[in-house]
A and B are shown apart, each in its own frame.
Chain A
Amino acid sequence: MHFLRHSLPYALALLAIGTVWQIAVWVSQANVAILPPPLLTLATLWELIANGDLAKHTLASLSRVVSAWGISVLVAVPLALAMARSRTVERLLDPVIELFRPISPLAWIPLAILWFGIGETGKVFIIFVATFFPILLNTVSGVKGVDPVLIRAGRVLGCNNEATLFWRVILPAAMPTIIVGLRIAFGTGWAAIIAAELVAAQSGLGYLIADGMEILRSDLVLAGMIAIGVLGVLIDSIFRFIGNQYDWGPA
């Protein structure tokens, strides 16, 4: 029942998109290679699922995002803690971060190809850039936003050093904000991997789309796009579910 109530709006949205799409096909009388009807696209999507191609490409894209996102977590979270707890570190790093932040991760694609070629490293690098800032900035604001009275309470209840205080008070108190950062980062990483794979890849959902364009199969392109959208929503809902476990509300 719970599941139904949440998936119903999505089902209706899909139905509406399909209808508009079908009408567009009828009205424009477009060539099937340019704008295939929704049912044909669904058949192509089903074919990609059945022959295992979709799973293969999804796995390729996902593993790149997951590994780069993981590296980002390992680098950005400790860095953010240092920034949030020390004025000196913050003053030192803040200008650097502010200068790099406005540069779209996609702007790094040419350099990534020059430096690392079209192998895995370059893509992981781009996703690292894309996921780094949301994690860093959310963790900084989460840790800075911890109510000072909770830190005092932790200290008078026996957290004698910075490490104990961090594990028992600061980290759990900042967790809701940190999780938001992890979720946003995964989203930007997911968007960036497709772009990176469009330019230079032999596998992945971005490659599937680029390949569809080259062989004039827009049904493949659209099937790939649908897969990207659906997977994005699924991943986001997993993060939301995890986030809800940490939604304890105000004390």
Chain B
Amino acid sequence: MMREDSHSKSIEVSNLSMTFRSDDGTSVNALAPTNLEIEPGQFVAIVGPSGCGKSTLLNILAGFLKPSEGQASIGNEAVAGPSIDHGVVFQDYALFPWLTVLENVAFGLKSQGLGWSERNEIAMHFLDVVSLRDFADKRPRELSGGMKQRVAIARTFATKPSVILMDEPFGALDALTRRFLQQQLLKIWSESRKTVLFITHSVQEAVFLADRIIIMTARPGRIKSDFLIDMDHPRDFSSDAFRRIEKVVFDSLDEELAKTFGLAANQLQAD
């Protein structure tokens, strides 16, 4: 396979639904028929309560799961399986522990048929972007959680995929590390402006990063609301505009949380 500097691609989801059947005959409806269109180059965050099917949606787009019904396409091509053109950043990093940091970042470049020196050069550049050049020869176990996720982000961006799917990538990190990684993600993203689908629990994170926020309902997952965020980067957490958007998103989400926990929405806000 040859490496090409692919352009960002669109994501289209039509009537996509997913029902998991277990061996004992019970079935769980994880994703109700869903439609979604994402333009090339858009940074979209999906926010929703646990079990709203947002990871299911991502796993279908990544080609890890086959949907029960409907279709997922990337760049007008139906998703047939995992592909190096559809990058994935996992919550638990998924670094290869037997490889060095540099070799991890170069892993996909080898699949793309690049020679040794070219691979190293590109991998070093991306390590530079996430400020980990000095750790190139370390093994993943010598790195902190935040550093591991920066390596994983560099590894995904290095292959220049046309869409990048991120499954709660900062979910396991502490608040300070999280803020730093959000900034680094925007930095590496602004270099290439790939289409990004970013799943998160954090409203603040979604408002800080995304051009567009989609809220999903509790099981079975369905798209509840869809907001465009028209704010320049870098965004200031404490600005009025930021707070206003955050409030709108929270209000929409609270209705869902209330359903999940069987409360009235106003009770939730009182807490």
Chain A residues in the interface with B (C-beta under 8 A): 147, 149-150, 152-153, 155-160, 164, 168-169, 172-173, 175, 246, 248-251
Give the interface segment out of B81-89, B170-178, B222-230, B233-241. Answer: B81-89
Contacts of B62 in A (CB 8 A): 152, 156
A149 near B92: Cβ-Cβ < 8 Å: yes
Contacts of B93 in A (CB 8 A): 251
Q: How far is the CA of A170 from the CA of B15 in the complex (A)?
A: 35
**B193 contacts the other chain (CB 8 A):** no
* Proximity string of chain B (88-108) to chain A, C-beta cutoff 8 Å, 1 when within and 0 when not: 101011111110000000011
**B131 contacts the other chain (CB 8 A):** no
Which of B1, B92, B98 sits near A173, CB closer than 8 Å?
A: B98
Specify the chain A residue showing the minimal Cβ separation from B165: A156
Contacts of B94 in A (CB 8 A): 147, 149-150, 152-153, 251
Within the complex, the shortest CB–CB distance from A90 to chain B, in Å, comes to 17
Most chain B CB neighbours (cut-off 10 Å) among A152, A168, A175, A246? A152
A sample of 15 inter-chain contacts (CB < 8 A) reads A149-B92, A152-B94, A153-B94, A155-B82, A156-B88, A157-B84, A157-B108, A158-B1, A158-B111, A168-B107, A248-B98, A249-B139, A250-B141, A251-B96, A251-B148
**B162 contacts the other chain (CB 8 A):** no
List the 7 shortest-distance A-B pairs measured between CB atoms, nearest first.
A158-B111, A155-B82, A251-B97, A157-B108, A249-B141, A153-B94, A158-B84
A156 near B139: Cβ-Cβ < 8 Å: no
Within the complex, the shortest CB–CB distance from B102 to chain A, in Å, comes to 15
Chain B, interface size category, equals: 20 to 34
Within the complex, the shortest CB–CB distance from A76 to chain B, in Å, comes to 22
Contacts of A168 in B (CB 8 A): 107
B98 near A152: Cβ-Cβ < 8 Å: no
A156 near B98: Cβ-Cβ < 8 Å: no
Contacts of B20 in A (CB 8 A): none
Contacts of B159 in A (CB 8 A): 157-158
Q: How far is the CA of A158 from the CA of B88 in the complex (A)?
A: 12
Q: How far is the CA of A153 from the CA of B99 in the complex (A)?
A: 14
Contacts of A160 in B (CB 8 A): 1, 111
Q: How far is the CA of A243 from the CA of B92 in the complex (A)?
A: 26
Specify the chain A residue showing the minimal Cβ separation from B143: A251
Query: Chain A at the B interface: mostly helix, strand, loop or mixed?
Result: helix
Q: A159-B111, A248-B141 are in contact. Are A152 and B82 (CB under 8 A)?
A: yes
Specify the chain A residue showing the minimal Cβ separation from B92: A149
Q: How far is the CA of A33 from the CA of B110 in the complex (A)?
A: 67
Q: A150-B96, A173-B98, A251-B93 are in contact. Are A156 and B140 (CB under 8 A)?
A: no
A158 near B139: Cβ-Cβ < 8 Å: no
Contacts of B95 in A (CB 8 A): 153, 251
Known: A149-B92, A158-B108; 15 extra A-B contacts, CB below 8 A, are: A155-B64, A155-B81, A155-B82, A156-B63, A156-B83, A157-B159, A158-B110, A158-B159, A169-B96, A172-B98, A248-B140, A250-B97, A251-B95, A251-B140, A251-B141
**B160 contacts the other chain (CB 8 A):** no
Within the complex, the shortest CB–CB distance from B27 to chain A, in Å, comes to 22
Within the complex, the shortest CB–CB distance from A204 to chain B, in Å, comes to 38
Within the complex, the shortest CB–CB distance from B239 to chain A, in Å, comes to 36
Give residues 242-259 of B contacting A (CB, 8 Å).
none
Within the complex, the shortest CB–CB distance from A18 to chain B, in Å, comes to 43
A157 near B98: Cβ-Cβ < 8 Å: no
B84 near A153: Cβ-Cβ < 8 Å: no
Within the complex, the shortest CB–CB distance from B87 to chain A, in Å, comes to 6
Within the complex, the shortest CB–CB distance from A178 to chain B, in Å, comes to 12
A156 near B84: Cβ-Cβ < 8 Å: yes
**B155 contacts the other chain (CB 8 A):** yes
Specify the chain A residue showing the minimal Cβ separation from B140: A251
**B112 contacts the other chain (CB 8 A):** yes
A152 near B107: Cβ-Cβ < 8 Å: no
Q: A150-B94, A172-B98, A248-B98 are in contact. Are A156 and B141 (CB under 8 A)?
A: no
Within the complex, the shortest CB–CB distance from A221 to chain B, in Å, comes to 45
Q: How far is the CA of A150 from the CA of B98 in the complex (A)?
A: 12
Specify the chain B residue showing the minimal Cβ separation from A250: B141
